[in-house]
Each structure stands twice: as C-alpha cells, then as structure tokens.
Structure 1
C-alpha cells in the first residue's frame, strides 16, 4: 500500500487555475471521490479544497496509475488541458506525501505561515470522505498522526501566536491603507461562512461597524447576533445599495459566479477598497479609477513578510514535521509485523492440530496423552519461534528490512491485506494514536 498527494496550490498554480480546479460544493467532491475509488488501484481518497489549494490525498496500490487517474478526472471536470495540469501539479509519493500532509496540517505550506484554519479544513475533508465511504483506516492513520504533529508544532514554536488567516491579512492591509481612519467606518462583509465571520471579527477588533450580507437572512441574522451589536445583517438583494455607499468591502462566498459585477456600480466617484477572499472570485474585473481591488494572490507579499518574520520558528516546525514523519513510518512498519507474527503462530497451531490428529488416528500416541503431547509441541514451537519473532519485531522498524518482511509473508503464505490493524496498535506505539 502506498500514500500519494496530488497538489495544486498557491505555490504552483495561479488564482485563475485554482478557480477552475476548486470544488464548489459537497456534491462535486462526492462525485470525484466516488470516481476515484472505483479504480482498483485506489483504496481510499479525500479532497482538500480551499482558497489556496486543491489537494487529492490517496492510499493506493499503484501511485503511477493513481496520479494519471487524478489528472485525467481533474482535466475532465475543469476543462483544463491534461498536460497543462501535469505541469502545474505537484506529486508527492509515500514518505514525501506523508511529510507534505503533516506540513499542510501544521500550516507550514500555507500562503500565510501559521494560519489557523487549515488543520480543521483537512480534518473536515477526511470526515466528509469517511462518511461517504471513500476513506477509512489507511488515511485515518495519517490524519491522526498529522493532527498530533500540528499540535506539537503549535506547542513547541510560536508560529501560530496571534493566529493569522487570509481574512486577518486582508483586514490588516485595509488598516495599513486607511490608518486610524478605519475606526468607525462601516465595512461590508459578503458571506456568513468561516472566512466571512473571521473577517467580521477582525474588522470589529480594529473599530469598524460591519454589515454582514448573505442569501439566508435568518442564518445571517443569527451569525450577526453572535458577533455583537455592531454587526447588522442583510440580504444579497440590498448589495447594490451598500457597494455604492461604503468604500470598504470583504467578500467570501461559495458562489460559482461573481456576485459583484460592473452593472451594479452606480457611483464611480466613490473611493473603494475591496478584498476578494473567494475561490472562484466573487468580484469580476472592472475598470473603476478609484477602485483598489485585492485578490487572494495579491496578498502573497504579505505572506512572504510573515514568513520572514517567522523563519526561525518555521525551521524548527519543519524539523518537528520531519521527526513525526520518521516516527509515523517507524510505527507503521512495526505495526505491520504483528499480524505476520500472529498468523505464523496460527499456522503452527494448525500444524499441531493436524499432526496430533494423525498421530492418534495412526496409534502413534495414546489418546489419553494428547494434552501432554500438545503442550510439549506448543512449547517446542514457541521456543523455536521466539528468536525469529523478536528479530522480526526489531528489524521491522528499519526501512532496509521491508523486503525481508515481505519475504517472510511470502514464505509462510501470509496475507495481511484485510487485517484490522487497530487491534495491534498498543504493541509498538504508546502515543495514544488512533489507527
């Protein structure tokens, strides 16, 4: 079994390509997951789709085949050329894939290093696929360990102090542009999801009043009430009024099409600072002299500044990720040997049963001596197997001995493909890992 991640992120794809690759809703993810897992070489899969990345995480029989299957399906659904996708995609296999997942969950691969949302987004991506029946224990092992790694990164470094997100960077940029004048201004936030709520919270912190806009007034009103008296709720029907009256706007909806178009603009003389935090984009390109429009990729320079400020801590965090990757594979190799040893002993027990039956049937052993003879045979085999099984356990944690274990499985005709490894988790691992 192999691990693989096919990644389309801010590091390799521009915003336009990420918009075409993004999964707009759960149904699109479900369709892709179901298609992937119908291939015999894909065991499990889940999809991370955020404003900065689309990542397909897989447990496979054949990484070459799964990689090309992902590219083919992504090309079909996005209408992007297969070879264009192949150029943009970053392929991570096995240990590199595990280290990449740990880095992503620890927010070391984010546009803004140390941002606080990605851990929850990856966990939710796995939960969705698990509920869909397209992810299980093979990927659960990786995610469980990745979450532990992320917790260690947070505890051992200050990389996540004052948690940062795209929303907080956008508000910080607005604050930088407007200075103290931002206090008392009214800011429009379109979208009552996680990003919109984060933007509203940061705006309140710098002294703005907020108008929160969404399609479902009841839902938006409930969110607005939870944020306090300085937040007003309204619907998308009122959007034209607000964008022609107030200069500060932050948008983060899940709409496939832009929600702000040039035909909504009535007052072109109004200075505007707009921040489009959505993938696909919420604001279409428009030629307004007094419009200053920031999209996600426009925040890259701020991300780089953030990385520079945290570089020392990022290096320490990367060391933690590498250490956890090594521990994960050590545990995984150790875990894999227990069902081998158990089946070796089961084969021995079956052999004893057959030979005892034959010996009694042939009269070689009196029936009344069966219990003693069986006990002696078991003790002899246990003594014979003791050193080999201990050596297998010790050697299983070393990469160079992987072929040796496969050879033992082949010699003893042992199949561990459908074994529930959870029953063996305490034999080699004491961190409380959930297999």
Structure 2
C-alpha cells in the first residue's frame, strides 16, 4: 500500500477531561511508547505525538494508514489502563490530505479550545523537536512540521486572530477579573507551578493589576523568573507554605506538571471569605473541595468564556481557514513536484537500460566491433537525453497543474514503470480557498 500521512488522537471536543488526563505521558515514557510501537509495526516509518491539556494526538507516516489505528489504540489503552471502547468512540482519524489539513489547523490554533491561542504552536514545535532528536521523525514528518509552522505564521500575519484570542491562562485570569466586578475581594492571587502555563498566568495577573504570590518546587527558578519580570507585585513563596496560602488567598491558579493532586481536601480549612480556584493542569492538580465557599474551575469549565470569544472572532476565523486552505494546497503541490524528479529519473534509466541492452546484443551478434562500445554508448546516451528533454521539461513545467496527474500516470502506464500513484491533485478540490 502507498505510504501516507495519518493522524489519530483525542481532543476536548470528544474525550472528557477525566479520560484525557489519563493519557498524559512524561517525555521519556512517551518516547519509549512511540519507539516500541514503531519497532513492533514496521509499516510505520515515522511517528510523533502531541500531548497538551486539550489533546493527545499521534502523527504518522506509514504504509498501512488503514490498518494502524486499531493496534495503536490497543497499545495506548493497555499502557494507560484506559477503556479501549472509550478511545474508539472518541477517536479523530484523518489520512493523507485530510491529515495534512488537520495538522495545519491544529498548529494554527483553529482546532484549539481557545481559537487563536499561540501556546499550541510552541507545544507542537517542542513535540516535533523531541521526537526528531529521538530518531522517530525523518524527512516526511519534518516536511509536514516545517510547513505546519509556516502555515501558523501565515495565519498570524494575515489575520488578527492571535491578537484578539487568548490562551487558557488569560481566559482564567479574565474570569477572575470579571468576578471582581461583582464580588468584594482583595486583588491578590496565588499561582502554583511555573511551567509555561503558570508563567502566562503570572503575566496576565500582573497586567490586570493583581498582587501575585508564586509557589514553585524549585524556589531559585521562581526567583529567577520574578527577577526577569522585575515587578514588585510578584513575590515568591516556598512550596512548604502552600497549605497556608490556599487558605489565605481568594484566587488560586494551579498549573503544575505533577502526576498527582498537589492540593488535597485535607489541606483545606474553613474560611469566612469566598474563594475561586482555577485548576489549569492535566492531570488535575486540585481534589474537588468540600467547602461550600470554594468555586472550582477546570479546563473544561472555561468553554463558556471561550464561546463568547469565538463569536467575536468569526470573521477572522473564516479568513484563517482560507489561509490554511492555501497552505494545504501549496504543500500538496510541493509534495507532487517532489514526485516528478523520480519519475523523470526512472524514465531516463529505462531508456538507458534499453539502449545498453541493444548495444550489447549488437556486439554479441557481430554487428558492431567491441572496441566501439564506449563511443556508441555515449552517442546513445546523448540521443535518448535529447529525445527525453521535452517530456522532462513538460513534466516539471506542469508539476503544479491539474494535468500533471494525467501526464504522470500516462507515462507510468505507457512505460510500465510500476510505481504506485502519488499524485494528489484532488486535494485542491477539497481544501482550496474556494471551499470556505
């Protein structure tokens, strides 16, 4: 079967948070899982994975795009002890042109919970880098990744979608700011964890005028981060003071990479004031509190705020899809042009072997002296190069045009080159700008 791009995975659209968080991998465990799966399935030439709060997706280049999903789901369900049927019913599956378009949409943040957030582009870049360094990606996924990042930049440059959109972190901070419009509470907040999400929360809180206390396991790293911001409203606290802090602040934002809850119900004490907690981690950092004066928001709970933003950005989103469509077509055309050179090379090799075969036969039958073989071979080489010049030039000239499909397939059929079809002109019909 012809090799093709394949994407399969799970996102906030179909898979609930409590199941998504079970699928999260630590980097080393993820690389081990991917390497083992590729070793067990030789049809998988290249593989990478993207794991975020809102999605776990696998991107592959494989000779068995129609057969590889069941064993991958089975391996994932076994590794993570997740119900296989739940994964099967929530699976998003795309091949070749649809896979390319899906990846471009994901990296351009058109498939995100918060459309237009820029965090996903960096996450994809890091995921690709991780898998590339591990030898899991080669030229095919590299081509896809580089073009996807180029597409994301094109969307940002052509639209205002990123400037108008917000990340999950800023959505949470916006929600806190809206709470203060109707509730009387100090404009003070604590942030637990200083990964990318935690740092974004700190920046957004400071921009909104909050006093922020940052709790992190590595105190020195937190101090270095606070120094880089040079804002007196950001103070660093040791993680040992966490239990005291959660009972002193009205606003709590938690976003660590811990595989377990860092805030348990046993740490919570009754307070006379209301508290609003935002758990921005997957797996979740906060055990559901029993105190009636605590309102807990998870990643999925922020979708209402996101929906209002989506309505405001509808026009830019439509334009962004047009940009993604153009890049998808360009990538398809580029892939198609890559197939022209091997076709020309095969055609020339066929002519060369035919000429040499007849030359050797002529010498064997005595039609030509042996000492003239080299000179005649050179003449024949020049002759078939001259003969094939115009067909070669025509193929290259029309590589991006619809007729290239017909020309290429006719040549392969006429000269019995025996190659599978790699021409994908139909892609343009589905994802060109006119389709949106």
- Structure 1 residue 240 corresponds to structure 2 residue 243: yes
1:35 maps to 36
Q: How many aligned positions are there?
A: 416
In the alignment, the residues of structure 1 paired with residue 88 and residue 188 of structure 2 have an alpha-carbon distance, to the nearest angstrom, of: 45
Shift of 1:362: 6.1
Deviations 1:261-311 (CA, angstroms, capped at 9, x unpaired) = 110012333311111100011111122111111110111011111111000
2:157 to 131, 155, 158: 155
1:412 maps to 417
| 1:339 and 1:416 in contact (8 A); partners too | no
- Structure 1 residue 334 corresponds to structure 2 residue 344: no
1:231 maps to 234
Shift of 1:411: 2.2
SS at the partner of 1:112? coil
SS at the partner of 1:146? helix
| 2:116 and 2:164 in contact (8 A); partners too | no
| 1:41 and 1:65 in contact (8 A); partners too | no
In the alignment, the residues of structure 1 paired with residue 410 and residue 29 of structure 2 have an alpha-carbon distance, to the nearest angstrom, of: 41
1:319 maps to 322
In the alignment, the residues of structure 1 paired with residue 389 and residue 184 of structure 2 have an alpha-carbon distance, to the nearest angstrom, of: 74
Matched ranges for 1:95-106 at <5 A: 95-106=97-108
Structure 1 alignment gaps of length 5 or more: 418-435
SS at the partner of 1:65? coil
| 2:352 and 2:384 in contact (8 A); partners too | no
Shift of 1:235: 2.7
RMSD: 2.7
- Structure 1 residue 257 corresponds to structure 2 residue 260: yes
In the alignment, the residues of structure 1 paired with residue 312 and residue 237 of structure 2 have an alpha-carbon distance, to the nearest angstrom, of: 39
Q: Is the deviation greater in 365-374 or in 150-159?
A: 365-374
Shift of 1:227: 2.0
2:131 maps to 129
Task: Give the alignment's TM-score, normalised by structure 1.
Answer: 0.88
| 1:395 and 1:401 in contact (8 A); partners too | no
In the alignment, the residues of structure 2 paired with residue 264 and residue 70 of structure 1 have an alpha-carbon distance, to the nearest angstrom, of: 40
With over 3 angstroms needed to count, the CA separation of the structure-2 counterparts of 1:241 and 1:276, relative to structure 1, is same
Deviations 1:55-112 (CA, angstroms, capped at 9, x unpaired) = 1111111112211122111211222221221101111111111101000011100101
In the alignment, the residues of structure 2 paired with residue 179 and residue 36 of structure 1 have an alpha-carbon distance, to the nearest angstrom, of: 52
In the alignment, the residues of structure 2 paired with residue 416 and residue 103 of structure 1 have an alpha-carbon distance, to the nearest angstrom, of: 26
| 2:193 and 2:256 in contact (8 A); partners too | yes
Shift of 1:334: 1.6
1:205 maps to 207
- Structure 1 residue 277 corresponds to structure 2 residue 273: no
Deviations 1:182-234 (CA, angstroms, capped at 9, x unpaired) = 99732111111100000000010011121111111122221222122322222
Structure 2 alignment gaps of length 5 or more: 423-436
